[in-house]
Each structure stands twice: as structure tokens, then as C-alpha cells.
Amino acid sequence: MLYVVIIFLWTSILLYLLLGGADFGAGIIELFTSEKNVAQTRKTLYKAIGPIWEANHMWLIIAIVILFVGFPVIYSTMSIYLHIPLTVMLLGIIARGTAFTFRHYDAVVDDMQHTYNRVFAWSSFITPLFLGIIAGSAVSGKIDLHADTFLSAYIFSWLSWFTVSVGLFTVSICGFLAAIYLVGETESEEETRRFILKAVAMNVAAVVCGALVFLSAYLEEIPLLSWIFGNTVGLIAIAAATVSLISLWYLLYNGKTKIIRLLAGFQITMILLAVTFNHFPNIVIVKQGYLSLMEHKGNDKSISSLAYALLIGSLFILPSLGYLIYSFQKSGTDELPGKTNSAEEV
């Protein structure tokens, strides 16, 4: 039953990166869109992220519940030593959701709409940045369980060139996913070309940020290269990700805009697999060693109950999510309920 729980944990993290990442990426795309095109961009992203918006944070909640119930030592360690980036990330999620809602449902259309737009766009950037920082911190070996100062315990545990590079890489990946998803929702050739250019820009940013991740890992003596390229699974995953990226661009330039979403999702899946496989089951690496999903699990009854709850819950969640996506696609609407045209033009 432990492996069932671990599979659900890994899958929930992956789905949050794919679906929540695309959601955040829509705001990142908006952040880097000119005033001339921003209204049309919003209209397109509303249609594309509709079903994702409704359910994306469910995967984050599932991951948190799994850690809280099944791996309390890991949960408490991350909550204590990474509480600052965790707080910033959660505040970003709240600010983003609030701004997204108010800019659609505010009864008065005034200058506050511009504030909502800015809060939505910048929180869409900040949230995945700190999500990446948290992920980088978990494997950086910087967390010192015996730290005796505030800086060493709560600042240097997460603030480093490596973690910031991972955060920027996460931001670029989110922007890339959103651009690829948005290409299939465009209504004109001009808009399609515009989103293709954004996908190219985000792809280049991901390559540059990825290089920074490897460089900073080398400088900080983090064995990232051996984690990824030191085993057969990692090599196959990176090769598959590279082939999928090449195939994605080939299909995109030949007008195949639907299947590229699957290829983008597959590419991110392979990257996550390559990064996590070699140091499994050590989910958190600290200065004093590691925190393992095997050695630091909860008691057997808790793990068993959690596994059954996840299995039974998935029987309700997955079909409902599938129907949600189907309903949005079938409706063919590009507007969210309650959204007024006047608000859209602001």
C-alpha cells in the first residue's frame, strides 16, 4: 500500500505541474503581452484554461494531504525550514485567484480592473517561481536540521543560486505549456503566429534557465548530472523528452495544433521522471543526510487507510474531471459565466 501512496504523490505533483503550470503560464503570457494584444490574449486564455482553472489546485491539496498523513516527518520538516517560500507561494495562489475572480465579477468597472490585472499577472509569475524554489530546496542539501541561527535555518535553507535557477526554469516551463495550449485555441492566423512566437521565446528561456540550473548545481556541488544521466531510466527519459520536443515543433509548424499538447505534457513528464528517479525514495535531501519515503513514513495503518482513501477517491475525481473538461469543450464558449464585455476591454 505504501507504493500506492507514493504513486499518487508523484502523480499529483506531476498533474499540478502540467495543469496548474499551464494555468500559471497563462498569467505569465499575459504579463509579457503588449497592451495592444492583451484583450484578445485574455479572451483566448479564458477559453483554454477554463477546465484547468476549476480543478488545478486539487492536485496540490492531494499532495499536501498525502505528506501530512503519510509522511509527517517530511511534512513537518518542509513546513518548518521552508515556511517562508511556502508562505509566499500560498499568498501568490490566493492573490492570483482573488484577482482573477474580481476582474470578472466586480460590479463596478473602474481603475481597479487594472490593479486586478497586474496582481493576476505578477502573482502568476511569483507563484511558480517559489514553487520551483521549494522543489530545488528539497534536493539541494541546504536544509540544516541543526541550524542555530535564523539565517541558516530559514533563509539559506532555500535561498541559493541553484534554487532560484530552478524557480526560473519552472516559470519558463509554465509559460511554455500555456503558450502551447493556447495555440490550439486561437481564432486567426495572426494570433496563432503570435502564440507560436511566445512558445519559442518560452522554450528558449527554458533552455537558458535549464543551463543555469546545471551550472549552479555544479558550483554548489549538487550531483544533478549524475541524478539525470547516471542511470538508464534518466537517459531514456531525457532522450524521449528531446524527441518529443523536436516532434512538437515539427507538428506545430505543419499546423497540427491539438496533438502538440500531449507532446508538451509528455516532455514535462519525462523531465520530472529523469530528475526524481535516481534519488528515489529520498524526497528531501538535507545536510545531515536525507528524508526517505520508505524510512520516514507514518504507521502502517495510516498508510493503508490513506491508500484506500486515494483509490476510492480517484473513482469519483477522475471521471468528474474528465466530464468537466468534456463539458467545457462541448460548450464552445470563450467566455466565463458572469464575465461582461466591458470588463474584458479594460
In angstroms, the Cα distances linking 79 to 66, 84, 85, 246 are 14, 9, 10, 39
d(CA 137, CA 162): 8
Alpha-carbon span 263 to 216, nearest angstrom: 28
Indicate the residue type of 236.
I
CB-based contacts of 1: which residues, under 8 Å, 6+ apart?
303, 304, 307, 308
Question: Residue 221: which region, alpha, beta or left (left: phi > 0; alpha: psi -120 to 50)?
Answer: left
Could you tell me which of 58, 167, 135, 344 has the C-alpha nearest to residue 143?
A: 135
The strand pairing partners of 291, in sequence order, are 284
Tell me the three-class secondary structure of the chain, residue by residue.
CHHHHHHHHHHHHHHHHHHHHHHHHHHHHHHCCCHHHHHHHHHHHHHHHHHHHHHCHHHHHHHHHHHHHHCHHHHHHHHHHCHHHHHHHHHHHHHHHHHHHHHHHCCCCCCHHHHHHHHHHHHHHHHHHHHHHHHHHHHHCCECCCCCCHHHHHCCCCCCHHHHHHHHHHHHHHHHHHHHHHHCCCCCHHHHHHHHHHHHHHHHHHHHHHHHHHHHHHHCCCCHHHHHHCCHHHHHHHHHHHHHHHHHHHHHCCCCCCHHHHHHHHHHHHHHHHHHHCCCCEEEEECCEEEECCCCCCCHHHHHHHHHHHHHHHHHHHHHHHHHHHHHHHHCCCCCCCCCHHHHHC
What integer pLDDT is reported at residue 328 of this predicted model?
Answer: 63
Task: Supply the pLDDT for residue 330.
Answer: 59
Q: Taking the C-alpha atoms of 8, 49, 326 and 18 in order, what is their torsion angle to the nearest 10 degrees?
A: -30
Output the CA torsion 3→8→13→15 (10° steps).
140
Closest of 170, 163, 165 to residue 85, by C-alpha: 163
Q: Which residues of the chain have pLDDT under 70?
A: 46-54, 107-109, 187, 325-346
CB 260 within 8 A of CB 2: no
pTM over 0.85: yes
Q: What is the pLDDT of residue 47?
A: 67
pLDDT of residue 119: 92
Q: How many whole angstroms separate alpha carbon 297 and alpha carbon 2?
A: 9
